[in-house]
């Protein structure tokens, strides 16, 4: 039997030993993503506006967003590998959930009090690094605990909480203004509106609370031989050994992962175009705001947050349907269909300029978002050796952050010299990238876990 077959067979046996979890157990182990998405959702809906409130021009925004992908590139493989080798009173992945939640909550409190552009950019670096410390082990957490037959449901449950968290986080400034009638206090001259600052404070509490819920309700499987595990950890200690193992894992990357990589690259390039420019495009191109000091600008950015809340709500609802669709069509075909829906949604911005009709464009984006958060990870987890799940989940993040780094470094030049700082054109380009991702998905095969009879 080949080495690959042996690895898959061993993996299959390991999965069969894992008991199936109930709906509520999967709910508890995924609940922390609700808090994590508060952190992501608040910055996705508000950071470009915060930068413009503090004086940034449209072509400067991409480079100011460089923090998110660069921290992910550096942090996630390291945290993934470290969590593979960790075992203590809190388990394997949960110590990283907790450390990331503490740091992220602190940054969410400090971020909206930035008094200058570069202070906000620096805070974003720290915030993104902290969120990545919590988020990466959550992907491996599902693969660790659930048997293969429940992994699609596990990742779909994460999509559900990501959708729910993003709905609340994205809509929060609008809710505080229009439902709770919060106004800027007399004498408050801070460039960032009070509603944005309070939203970030609420996000800090939500992040910490949700992660603590998962930590206290879900236990992890210990290594089969704790002494052998600790000895192996000691042998591989040190920066050089860690770097060598990461590069070795990259060289031995499974074929499914290699083919999923370009799909992720173009998908996230499309999403990044949307996150960079959609809220400010709504403010300027739909509401007609000429600059960030205009009341229409604040109103437009808040409506952009409502649009983001809608695609997150669609993500939440579609997450219930996704496992059923995947069983009927297969995970590959399901993801292709969802990516096409996302491409259609973003591209339709070219012909839709009414603020209410803009909400329709977000339906397709929400469907694509739900699938992007679950199907690639379900496909990936089935192809990975269990002892390297964490490090491969971290390496898989390369295919997400690389296009974001490229966009951060070069999209500003495109905006200034080719797109004439037209933010709507940037969103439409995002739809084109997502369509390319759907085409590339045709090359991906859904891996099959061998049954005991195949061993």
Domain residue ranges of the chain, discontinuous segments joined by +? 3-220+227-454
pLDDT score of 99 more than 50: yes
Q: Which two tokens stand for residue 173?
A: 């400034």
pLDDT at 20 over 90: no
Looking at 70-79, 160-169, 268-277, 375-384, which range is the least confident one? 70-79
- b/e 350-361 (16+ beta carbons within 10 angstroms → b): eeeeebeebbeb
Of 29-38, 102-111, 284-293, which range is least confident?
284-293
pLDDT of the residue at 3: 37
Show Cβ contacts of residue 407 under 8 Å, excluding neighbours closer than 6 positions.
62, 65, 269, 272, 273, 276
Residue with tokens 């990975």: 384
pLDDT of 118 above 80: yes
Least confident of 22-31, 156-165, 307-316, 399-408: 399-408
Q: What is the DSSP string of 404-439?
A: HHHHHHHHHHHHHHTSTT-HHHHHHHHHHHHHHHHH
Give me the CATH code for the 3-220+227-454 domain, please.
1.20.1250.20
Q: Is 354 left (phi over 0), alpha (psi -120 to 50) or beta?
A: beta
* pLDDT mean over 346-368: 88
| First-residue to last-residue Cα distance in the chain | 9
For residues 248 and 221, what is the distance between their CA atoms, to the nearest angstrom?
A: 26
pLDDT tops 50 at residue 450: no
Is the confidence at residue 210, as pLDDT, over 80?
yes
Which residues have CB under 8 Å from 50's CB, separation 6+?
A: 112, 114, 120, 192, 196
Q: What percent of the chain has pLDDT over 70?
A: 88
Closest Cα partner for 448 from 4, 59, 51? 4
CA 150 to chain centre: 21
pLDDT at 5 over 60: no
Q: What pLDDT is stored for residue 4 in this prediction?
A: 40
Question: Interior CA angle at 26 toward 330 and 364, to 5°?
Answer: 45
Tell me how far apart the alpha carbons of residues 377 and 266 are, in angstroms, rounded to a whole number: 16
Provide mean pLDDT across the span 110-125.
87
434 pLDDT above the threshold of 90: yes
Q: Quote the pLDDT of residue 240.
A: 64
CB-based contact 339:435 (threshold 8 Å): yes
Q: Report residue 231 as tokens.
A: 């000895």
The number of beta carbons lying within 10 Å of the beta carbon of residue 294 is: 15
Alpha-carbon distance 10 to 15, whole Å? 9
Are residues 400 and 72 in contact, defined by beta-carbon separation less than 8 angstroms?
Answer: yes
pLDDT of residue 7: 37
Q: Is the pLDDT of residue 341 over 90?
A: yes
Question: Residue 442 — pLDDT band, cuts 50, 70, 90?
Answer: very high
Distance CA 324, CA 328 (A): 6
Distance CA 300, CA 132 (A): 30
Quote the crossing angle between the two packed helices 67-84 and 239-251, to the nearest 10°: 100
Residue closest to 404 by CA, chosen among 253, 261, 276: 276
Nearest to 275 by CA among 169, 184, 371, 123: 169
Looking at residue 80, its pLDDT comes to 76
Give CA 341 to chain center in angstroms: 19
For 296-347, give the DSSP string.
HHHHHHHHHHHHHHHHHHHHHHHHHHHHHHHHHH-HHHHHHHHHHHHHHHHH
Tell me the mean pLDDT in the region 277-306: 82
pLDDT of residue 436: 96
CB-CB contact of 273 with 433 (8 Å): yes
| % pLDDT > 90, the chain | 20
Best mean pLDDT range from 291-295, 356-360, 418-422: 356-360
3-state secondary structure of 91: strand
Residue 335 structure tokens: 């993801």
List pLDDT tens digits, range 189-201: 677 888 989 999 9
pLDDT for position 254: 83
- When mean pLDDT is compared across 100-114, 210-224, 412-426, the lowest value belongs to 412-426
Mean pLDDT over all residues of the chain? 81
Q: How many CB atoms lie within 10 A of CB 57?
A: 12
CB 26 within 8 A of CB 154: yes
């Amino acid at each position: 039997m080949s080495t690959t077959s042996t690895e898959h067979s061993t993996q299959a046996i390991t999965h069969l030993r894992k008991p199936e979890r109930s709906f509520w157990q999967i709910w508890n182990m995924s609940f922390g993503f609700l808090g994590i998405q508060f952190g992501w959702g608040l910055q996705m809906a508000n950071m470009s506006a915060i930068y413009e409130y503090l004086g940034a021009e449209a072509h400067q925004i991409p480079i100011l967003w460089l923090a998110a992908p660069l921290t992910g590139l550096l942090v996630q493989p390291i945290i993934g590998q470290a969590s593979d080798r960790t075992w203590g009173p809190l388990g394997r992945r949960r110590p990283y959930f907790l450390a990331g939640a503490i740091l992220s909550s602190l940054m969410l409190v400090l971020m909206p009090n930035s008094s200058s552009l570069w202070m906000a950019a620096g805070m974003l670096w720290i915030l993104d690094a902290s969120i990545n410390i919590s988020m990466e082990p959550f992907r491996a957490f599902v693969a660790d605990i659930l048997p293969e037959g429940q992994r699609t449901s596990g990742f779909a449950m994460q999509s559900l909480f990501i959708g729910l968290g993003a709905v609340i986080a994205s809509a929060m400034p609008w809710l505080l203004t229009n439902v709770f009638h919060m106004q800027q206090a007399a004498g408050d001259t801070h460039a960032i509106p009070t509603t944005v600052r309070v939203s970030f404070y609420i996000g800090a509490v939500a992040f910490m609370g949700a992660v603590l819920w998962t930590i206290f309700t879900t236990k992890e499987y210990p290594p089969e031989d704790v002494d052998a595990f600790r000895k192996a950890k000691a042998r591989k200690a040190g920066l050089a050994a860690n770097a060598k193992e990461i590069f070795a894992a990259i060289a031995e990357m499974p074929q499914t992962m290699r083919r999923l990589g370009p799909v992720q690259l173009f998908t996230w390039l499309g999403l990044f175009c949307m996150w960079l420019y959609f809220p400010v495009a709504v403010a300027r191109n739909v509401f007609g705001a000429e600059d960030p000091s205009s009341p229409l600008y604040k109103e437009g950015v808040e409506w952009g947050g409502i649009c983001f809340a809608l695609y997150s709500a669609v993500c939440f609802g579609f997450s219930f349907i996704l496992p059923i669709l995947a069983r009927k069509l297969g995970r590959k075909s399901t993801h292709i269909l969802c990516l096409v829906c996302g491409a259609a949604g973003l591209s339709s911005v070219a012909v839709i300029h009414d603020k209410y009709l803009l909400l329709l464009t977000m339906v397709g984006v929400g469907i694509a978002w739900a699938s992007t958060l679950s199907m690639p990870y379900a496909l990936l987890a089935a192809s990975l050796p269990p002892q390297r799940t964490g490090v491969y989940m971290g390496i898989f993040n390369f295919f997400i952050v690389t296009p974001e780094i490229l966009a951060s470094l070069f999209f500003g030049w495109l905006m200034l010299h080719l797109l004439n700082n037209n933010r709507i054109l940037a969103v439409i380009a995002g739809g084109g990238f997502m369509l390319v991702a759907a085409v590339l998905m045709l090359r991906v095969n859904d891996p099959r876990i061998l049954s005991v009879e195949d061993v």
